[in-house]
Structure 1
Amino acid sequence: MTDIVVPKLNANDTTYTLVEWIVPAGATVGAGDPVATVETSKAAEELPSPGDGVLHHVVAVGAECAPGAVLGRLSPSAAGRDRFPAPEPDGAADRDRFPAPEPDRPVITEPALRVMEEHGIAPSAVRALGRKVVRAADLAPLLPPGAAVPGGTDVLPGAVVPLPGTDGSADDPGSGRRLELPAAQRAVGAVVAESHRTVPAAFVAVKVPLDAAVAHAQALTRRYRRLVGVPELLIAAVGTLLATHPLCFARLVAPGVVHIPGSADVGVTIDVGKGLHVPVLRAVDTSPVRDVAAQLMAHRMTALRGTFRAADLTGATIMLALHTDDDVTHAVPVLLPGTSCALSLAGRQTELFLDAGGAVAQRTVVQLGLAYDHRILNGRDAVAFLRDLSALLQHPTDPD
C-alpha cells in the first residue's frame, strides 16, 4: 500500500480540513492525478496521487487533518483495497440529525451540529450559506445577537462569552465578551508576529506627484479595454528595477549571505472582506503593463470567489501593500519573512505647489513607503529605490 500523506502547505496552520474527495473510493488513479482537496486558513489545495493504484479513503470529508496525516491509501488491486473498511466520520452515530452529504448538501462538522440543535437552526438555512463544509463559526450569521455557544467550548465570531471570574451580566464590572477570530485572521497574526520577531525592519517614505501616472493609466485603460490604475503602473515599474536594485528583491539565506532571485515576483495585498491575502504576480520584470493588469484582476476575482490555492500565495520576492483610500495619508507595511522589502501605496492627496514659473498650482500626490530589512539594505539604498520608482511614475513611458 502507498500512503497519501497531507503535506505541509503553509507555515501558519497546524490542521487543515478535507473539503472533498475528487476521486471516489475504489477508483483507479495514476501518479499525479488530483485525488482530494484540503482547505487551509488561506486557500484550497488539490492533493495529487503519489503513485498508481486503487484509491481507498482513510479520512472522511469534513474531518480535520494535520500535516503528515494519512488521508488515503493506494492499493495495487481492487481486491487489496477491499480489505480496508470505509472511513467513518467523527460522530457518525449522530448523522441522522442531518443526512449524509449529497451533491447539494454541505458537510457539517460536529461543533456546528451542536450549535444547530441548541438554536433550532434549520438545515435549509445552513444550505443557503453556500459552503461545502460548515463549521460552527460559519453559523454566526444565523444566530440571534449575543447568542452564546453551548458549553462555552466553541466560540463563534461575535458570540458573547462570560470572561473568567464574572457572571456575564451587564452589571458585572468585569463582564465582557471574547471573540474567536477567523482562521484567516489568525494566519495573518502568525505572519505578522513572526515578522516582528525575526526581521529588524526600518521604514522610509517619499512623496510622489501622481498626475502624469493617473493620466497614463486612464489612457492605457481605454487602449487595452482593461482596468489599469496606479497600482498596476507601480507593480510594472517595480519589475523594471530588479537589475538595478537587486537587494530589494533578495532573501537572507545565512548571516551576511543573500539569494538574488531570477525574477521579480510581487505579492500584492487584497482584502475583499474575506480576510487578507497576498497573492503573487509572477515574472513582473518581463511582463508588460497589460499582463500585470490581467494578473492582478484575476487575483481580485479569485479573492471574491474565495478560491486561492497555496501556489497563488507563495514565492513573493517583494511585497506591495495597498492602502489607497483617499483618507489614508501613509501606511507602514509588514515585511513578509523571507523578503527584504515591502512597499506601501497610500491614498491620493491634493496639494498646492509653486510651478516652474512661480505660480501657485494644484497637483495630486501620494506617499510611497518602503519597509526594509536593515540586515540587507541601508536607508540610502531604500531611498534610491523609492526615488527611481517615483521617477518612473512621474515620467511613464508608452509600453508599445
Structure 2
Amino acid sequence: MTTTTEQLFHLPDLGEGLTEAEIIEWKVAVGDTVGIDQIVVEVETAKAAVEVPVPYAGIVSHLHAEAGTSVAVGAPLISVGAAPAPAPAAGEPRKTARSAAAEQYREEEQAGSGNVLIGYGTGHAPPSRRRRRRSAAPGTGTQRQAPARPVAAATRPVSADLALRVISPLVRKLARESGIDIALITPSGPRGVIRRCDIEQAIAAAAVEVNVETPPAPVTVVAGAAPVSSAGPDALRIPLRGLRRAVSDKLTRSRQEIPDATTWVDADATGLLEMKNALQAADPEHGIGLLALLARICVAGLRRYPELNSTVDTAAGEIVQFPHVHLGFAAQTDRGLIVPVVRDAHLMTTVELAAEFKRLTGLARTGSLPPDRLTGGTFTLNNYGVFGVDGSAAIINHPEAAIIGFGRVIDKPWVVDGALAVRKVVQISLSFDHRVCDGGAAGGFLRYVADRVENPTTLVADL
C-alpha cells in the first residue's frame, strides 16, 4: 500500500527574534529522497549561516524558494511526499510513534509561523528543533535552556481561553506592536490557534475604520520639488537585507534612542606592547595578543565603574546594571562587521580571553557562529586601529550603554620625565549613554583604561 500524502515544512523560528532568512544553498533537489532530520537547506539570517533539517522522510516534491531569495519565518520552505512503504505485518500498528510525532509537528507548523506552541499536554520538541537548541559553552557560567515543546494530549479538552494565550511569539509581537487585542481575535488555526493572517486581517480592518472616520488631509504640491530619488538608470541598487539590514536597524535604533556622548584620550602604549611581546616570547603556544590585554584592562575597569556595564529599561524607567561582563568585540568578516560576544569575560584569565577571541573570530569568518554568541553583550570593545585609523566616535551597540575604541598604535613625540622621546601612542575613545552616567564616571573609566595601558604592571593590583 502507498500513500500520496504531501507534507509541507515551513521555515522554522531560528531564535533571537529573527523574522526572515535568505536561501544560500539547497542541499537537495526535487525527486531526492530525504530522511528525518536530514539537512536540506542552508540559510543566512541577520546573525549567522544556519543549516536547516527537515522533520519528515520521503520524496522531495517541491522547493518553495530559490537560492538567493528571502523567506519569512513560517513561510513554506519544502514539500515532501511520502515514499512507498511496505504493508505492515499482521498485528503491527499502522502508525508508529515517530510518524505520529511528525504528523503533530506538521499540524503545528501549518497552524502558525515559526516557534508555535500548540497543545496542552507535556512532551518534547521534534528532533529538528532539539538539534538547534544549544546551551552556552561549558565554563561560561550561563546556560540557555529552551522550554520543551508541548505535544497535544488527545484526552484533555481544549480551552478557548488557553488557546488564545498559547500562540506564536512572532504573532504575539505583531499584535502587540499593532495595538491588536488578541482576546478579540477569532482564531482560524486548528484547535483555536491564532495565526499571523488573523492579526493581519484585524490590522487591515482597523485601517479601514480609521480611513472611514478620518478624511484624508489635502495634499499640497510644491512647484519645482526635487524627486524622491535622483538616481539614474545606471545606479547600482543593493538590497538592504541579511546582516546589512540588521546592522542598519540596530544602529538606527541606537541613534534614535540613546543620547550618547564621546570622550577620548591619547595614551603611551609602549609599556603595553613590551608586555605583549614578553608574554608571547615566554608562552608562544597561547599567543596572547593586544586585544586580549585590552579586554583584560576594560573588564577590570568595568568592575570599578559598573555604570558603563548596564542598559536602560525604558519601559520600567530603570537603569539595569549587570553583575557579569559579556564582552562584545568587533570582527570584520566577508559578510560585514559583526560583534561576537565573549560571555562571562570577568571570570576568564588573559590566556582564556585570547583563546576565546581566536575561536569566535574563526567561527565568525566561516559564518558558523551560533545566534546566541551574537547577542546578549553588555559592553563592546572595538579595535578599529587595524583599519589604519587613529580615532572614531563609535555608535553604541544597542541596547548596551557604552563602547570603547582603540586606534592604531603609531610613533609620536612624547614627553617622558621632562624630555622629548618617540613613543608608541594610541588614541582611546569612549562613547557612552548619558542616561546611565555623567562625564565624571565616563572620564574616570577612560582614564583608568589609559593609565593601565601606560603602566600595565599596575593592573596586577586589581586582579
TM-score by length of 1: 0.65
Is 275-284 or 227-236 further displaced after alignment?
Answer: 227-236
Q: Of residues 388, 391, 398 in structure 1, which corresponds to 2:451?
A: 391
Residues 10, 74 of structure 2: 8 Å contact kept: no
Residues 54, 77 of structure 1: 8 Å contact kept: no
What is the CA distance between 1:251 and its match in structure 2?
A: 1.4
What is the CA distance between 1:271 and its match in structure 2?
A: 0.9
Q: What amino acid sits opposite 2:403 in the alignment?
A: A
What is the CA distance between 1:323 and its match in structure 2?
A: 1.1
Which residue does the alignment assign to 2:50?
45
Structure 1 distance, partners of 2:102, 2:365, is 40
What is the CA distance between 1:261 and its match in structure 2?
A: 2.0
What is the CA distance between 1:25 and its match in structure 2?
A: 7.1
Q: What amino acid sits opposite 2:407 in the alignment?
A: A
Q: What amino acid sits opposite 1:368 in the alignment?
A: I
Which residue does the alignment assign to 1:17?
23
Which residue does the alignment assign to 2:342?
281
Structure 2 distance, partners of 1:240, 1:47, is 40
Residues 12, 190 of structure 1: 8 Å contact kept: no
What is the CA distance between 1:314 and its match in structure 2?
A: 0.9
Tell me the alpha carbon deviations over residues 311-358 of structure 1, each in whole angstroms, 9 at most, x when there is no partner: 2211111011221147412111111111000111111132223322x2
Which residue does the alignment assign to 1:306?
367
Residues 254, 399 of structure 2: 8 Å contact kept: no
Structure 2 distance, partners of 1:179, 1:28, is 40
Is 2:222 aligned against 1:217?
no
**Aligned to 2:307, what secondary structure does the other structure show?**
helix
Q: What is the root-mean-square deviation of aligned Cα atoms in Å?
A: 3.9
Distance 1:274 1:320, change over 3 A: same
Which residue does the alignment assign to 1:257?
318
Is 2:197 aligned against 1:191?
no
Is 62-71 or 232-241 further displaced after alignment?
Answer: 62-71
Which residue does the alignment assign to 2:411?
350
Tell me the alpha carbon deviations over residues 244-292 of structure 1, each in whole angstroms, 9 at most, x when there is no partner: 2111110112354122223211111111443111111121111111111
- Structure 1 spans left out of the alignment, 5+ residues: 85-162, 169-173
Distance 1:229 1:320, change over 3 A: same
Q: What amino acid sits opposite 1:382 in the alignment?
A: A
Residues 5, 68 of structure 1: 8 Å contact kept: yes
Distance 1:6 1:12, change over 3 A: closer
Residues 26, 78 of structure 1: 8 Å contact kept: no
Q: What amino acid sits opposite 1:316 in the alignment?
A: G
Aligned residues: 308
| 1:310-321 equivalences in 2 (<5 Å) | 310-321=371-382
- Structure 2 spans left out of the alignment, 5+ residues: 1-6, 81-95, 107-226
Q: Of residues 396, 417, 423 in structure 2, which corresponds to 1:335?
A: 396
In percent, how many aligned pairs have the same letter? Answer: 21
Residues 242, 285 of structure 1: 8 Å contact kept: no
Q: Of residues 71, 84, 94 in structure 2, which corresponds to 1:65?
A: 71
Structure 2 distance, partners of 1:247, 1:280, is 19
Greater C-alpha Rg: 2
Is 2:237 aligned against 1:179?
yes
What is the CA distance between 1:27 and its match in structure 2?
A: 4.0
Distance 1:73 1:341, change over 3 A: farther
Q: Of residues 268, 293, 313 in structure 2, which corresponds to 1:233?
A: 293
Distance 1:362 1:294, change over 3 A: same
Q: What amino acid sits opposite 2:414 in the alignment?
A: F
What is the CA distance between 1:234 and its match in structure 2?
A: 0.9
Is 2:13 aligned against 1:7?
yes
**Aligned to 1:187, what secondary structure does the other structure show?**
helix
Q: Of residues 421, 428, 434 in structure 2, which corresponds to 1:368?
A: 428
Structure 2 distance, partners of 1:207, 1:340, is 22
Distance 1:306 1:359, change over 3 A: same
Which residue does the alignment assign to 1:131?
none
**Aligned to 1:324, what secondary structure does the other structure show?**
helix
Distance 1:390 1:7, change over 3 A: same
Residues 266, 317 of structure 1: 8 Å contact kept: yes
Distance 1:55 1:305, change over 3 A: same
